[in-house]
Structure 1
Amino acid sequence: MNGYVIRGVRAEDWAKVKELRIAALRDPVAPVAFLQSLEEVEGLSDGFWQDRAGGAALGGRVRQFVAEGAGGEWVGTVTVLIEEAGTADLFDGEIEQTQGHLVGVFVRPEQRGTGLTEALFDAALEWSWALEEPVLARVRLFVHEENGRAAAFYRRFGFVPSGKVVPMPTDPSAKELEYVFPRPV
């Protein structure tokens, strides 16, 4: 992990946000890791990416973290979405408790296994637990049933399977497994 800084996205980073998302969707694991296709994302306007980076920079209901090298290159990312109790859930109806939801996890293949994913998750959870309003009960994520490498990392990091299984929105015959990390006491 030497030489990398983990930091939040800034509004002016929109072009790098776009480039890293496209790189993630070119990864061979993308079909079981992301809900968007490369074709969908490549067709989005610069305005979309400017809005996305701007919103993630504010840190209100969404915060994106990146791993940035000394030369400015981005090699990894994770985003935290805040889900309020009582609001609609992408997968299963209604959110039962106020929580963080990790999405968009990606580390370039040549950097996997170097500690960058752990550092990104540390930053995401630190930010999540530091929120004064809303206070998050837990952080969750979903992993495709065939993404064993990701599931193994999540378990090693401290996430535990909740037992909740939902159909993948882009392919209802496939399953997404929920993993949770309870708020430390």
Structure 2
Amino acid sequence: MQSPDLTIRSTTADDWQAVRALRLEMLRDYPIAYAETLEQALDVDEAGWRLRGARGTTAGQTSIVAIDGTRWVGHMGGYIPDAASGPLLVGVYVAPDHRGDAAGTSRRLLDAVEAWALGYGSTLRLEVHETNARAIRFYEKLGFTFTGRNRPYELEPGGLELEMIKPLR
């Protein structure tokens, strides 16, 4: 069931403490999904977290969060790695108690990222680790399809990052 208190909004530099707390939660929940280790994230200083928070207000990138009352329960981000490839969805996370169609958190976050991405292209891309079956099912349900492209995952245990793409309306 959707929470009536759920707010979807962009992050700011002043959100740095909540951005940090949510990122650490993300890394503890599914460490292979974010191209960063928990140890690396713990080493980021306040200035680094402020920069991450500012992604929500910086041209060419976005950082969108879901907040239930005062608790941060989800995140999706995006940026433009290069003009040829267009917008890339990154940092996808929803707290376990806010997952699923009934909660609606994931769809609302993705709607916000797609609205941002439309300003930069006609498709939205993402990369997902080949062993992350739950995420793959979620992305397929939302209209993403595999492109056939992949690249090696840079952290242990290795494996492949699979590219998926979705046309934007």
**If the length of structure 1 is used for normalisation, what is the TM-score?**
0.84
Task: Quote the offset at 1:82 in angstroms.
Answer: 1.5
Query: Which SS does the other structure have where 2:131 is aligned?
Result: coil
Structure 1 residue 11 corresponds to structure 2 residue 13: yes
Structure 2: which amino acid aligns with 1:122? Answer: D
CA apart distance, 1:137: 3.4
Deviation at 1:83, TM superposition (A): 2.5
Give the aligned residue type for 2:88.
Answer: H
Q: Secondary structure at the match of 1:40?
A: helix
The structural deviation recorded for 1:143 is 0.7
**Contact 2:114–2:168, Cα closer than 8 Å, also in 1:** no
RMSD: 1.5
Q: Percent identity?
A: 33
Residue identity opposite 1:78 in structure 2: M
Given the alignment of the two structures, is residue 76 of structure 1 paired with residue 74 of structure 2, yes or no? yes
Distance 2:155 2:115 in 1: 31
Whether contact under 8 Å (1:98, 1:137) holds in the other structure is no
1:67 aligns with 2:63: no
Partner of 1:90: none
Q: Which consecutive residues of structure 1, in runs of 5 or more, have no partner in the other structure?
A: 86-96
AA aligned opposite 2:97: E
Q: Secondary structure at the match of 2:136?
A: helix
Aligned residues: 165
Q: Structure 2: any 5+ residue segments left out of the alignment?
A: none
Aligned residue number for residue 20 of structure 1: 22
Q: In structure 2, give the amino acid aligned to 1:139.
A: L
Tell me, in whole angstroms, the C-alpha distance in 2 between the residues paired with 1:171 and 1:136. Answer: 33
Q: Which runs of 4+ in 1 moved over 4 A?
A: none
Q: Provide the rounded CA distance (Å) in 2 between the counterparts of 1:120 and 1:57.
A: 13
Question: Which stretch shows the higher mean deviation, 170-179 or 109-118?
Answer: 170-179
CA deviation after TM superposition for structure 1 residue 173, in Å = 4.4
Distance 2:162 2:115 in 1: 23
